[in-house]
Amino acid sequence: MIGSNGSTRWRRALCALLVMGLAAAAGCSEDETATGGTADATLEAPDADDTPPQDTAAPEDTSGEEDTGEAPDTGEQDTAPDVEEDTSPPPPQVTRFIVMGDTGEGNPEQLRVAQGAQARCDRAGGCDGFLMLGDNIYDTGPESATDPQFTTKVDEPYRGLKLGPPPADGEPDNRERMPIYVSLGNHDLGGAGLNRDLIQHYIDYAAQNDWFYFPSAWWEKKVGNVHLMALETNSLAYLGTKYDDHGQMVEGVLSSTDARWTIAFGHHPYRSDGQHGNAGSYEGIPGDLTINGGEFRKWIDEFVCNRVDFYLSGHDHNRQWFNSVPDIPTWPFWEDDTRPCNSWFAVSGAGAKLRGMKDRDNDLAFGEATLGFLFMEFHENKVVAEYCDADGNTEWTRTLTGH
């Protein structure tokens, strides 16, 4: 017989077996049974470590504009000033020359006129060159390219001529030397102008001194808005030679240059109220012969009149500007027909010494036998011509606007 305590233990064991059986049938684990059965339906917030990583990439641009890699516009104004292209036209070109001949004495008068020329150039804002009209070395020219006369009669007197505008007050004058554009006179070639062997000495000297421009006996060069043509007038005025050679030079320049103005310059004058007088009757000898400038007169009539703007010369030691020159006779002369010559003519031979005026029946606007020089300023639509005294003071001026 089973006692009451044994019966109780047996009943408890049986109940435990029943509970375990029911739990196994329900698929419950021991842990789940231990924690109270089914999972709580309430969701708890995840721990911080369980938070999924955030996407740190920039948000997609939905503006429709291409990404240029530039910083985004914050709406602030750019404080850097805008740089605008300068489309204004360049300032008009102005070219200035001093013009004189018969200078080659190496005397105080030559130096004084040179200093006056520089003073005039500086007042104008600077010059571009010096047109040297021959008789650069009195009385018979140099014996070689190293002749000391080049130093005493060319280099030293004009060493103070400077190219371009003057420096500001108090600043050093570091300008280059002013170029000298050279033609030869009769005294440069032996006195009578016939010793052509001496031409080479000037060419050789020029090759050693870049401020002394003389590449050949006659030459042409554009400077600024002016085209220069230097003549070897000894051949033309006394021998009538090199006529076609000079003419071809002029034809070539006139057919090709883009310069606004043209100048032919040389030693012997076309017209002059001085001792030497007019081409075709030099020294007052009539006849229009070759030896007294007859062929030279014809050359000017053919190649300069109405074609070249200016012919500038020396030879007579004074200064003259012509209102006009006589009409050009046509050929044959007995037809008594003429045509005007509308080029401008000037004489500037007072750079170192003087010789008086002489009436040769010319129409002068200015004529003085005093030391000085011609100053010329070439603008696009006008030319200002001035005669200045030895100290650079303006004595006479004329503005030329075209023929």
> Which 8-state DSSP code applies to residue 163?
B
Q: What kind and span of H or E run contains 117?
A: helix 108-124
Q: Tokens 């103070």 sit at which residue?
A: 160
Coil vs helix vs strand at 399: strand
Half-sphere exposure of 53 (CA within 13 A, CB side): 3
By the 8 A CB rule, do 310 and 262 touch? yes
pLDDT given for residue 321 in this prediction: 98
pLDDT given for residue 74 in this prediction: 52
* C-alpha 205 chain-centroid distance: 26
Give the CATH class of 95-400: alpha beta
pLDDT digits (tens, 9 = 90+) for 95-137: 999 999 999 999 999 999 999 999 999 999 999 999 999 999 9
In angstroms, how far apart are the furthest CA atoms of the chain?
Answer: 190
Query: Does the CA dihedral 138-144-145-150 come out positive or negative?
Result: negative
Residue spans of the chain under pLDDT 70 = 1-83, 86, 331-336, 403
Mean pLDDT for the chain overall? 85
By the 8 A CB rule, do 378 and 130 touch? no
pLDDT given for residue 87 in this prediction: 73
Helix, strand, coil shares of the chain, percent, nearest 5, are 30, 20, 50
Segments making up each domain of the chain, as ranges: 95-400
d(CA 140, CA 158): 20
pLDDT given for residue 55 in this prediction: 43
pLDDT digits (tens, 9 = 90+) for 335-391: 667 899 999 999 999 999 999 999 999 999 999 999 999 999 999 999 999 999 999
Angle between helices 243-256 and 294-303 (to 10 degrees): 20
pLDDT given for residue 366 in this prediction: 98
d(CA 223, CA 111): 25
Query: Does the CA dihedral 344-345-351-355 come out positive or negative?
Result: negative
Task: List, in order, residues 6 or more apart from 380 with CB less than 8 Å away.
Answer: 92, 93, 225, 260
Q: Tokens 């500007």 sit at which residue?
A: 321
pLDDT given for residue 44 in this prediction: 39
pTM of the predicted protein model:
0.78
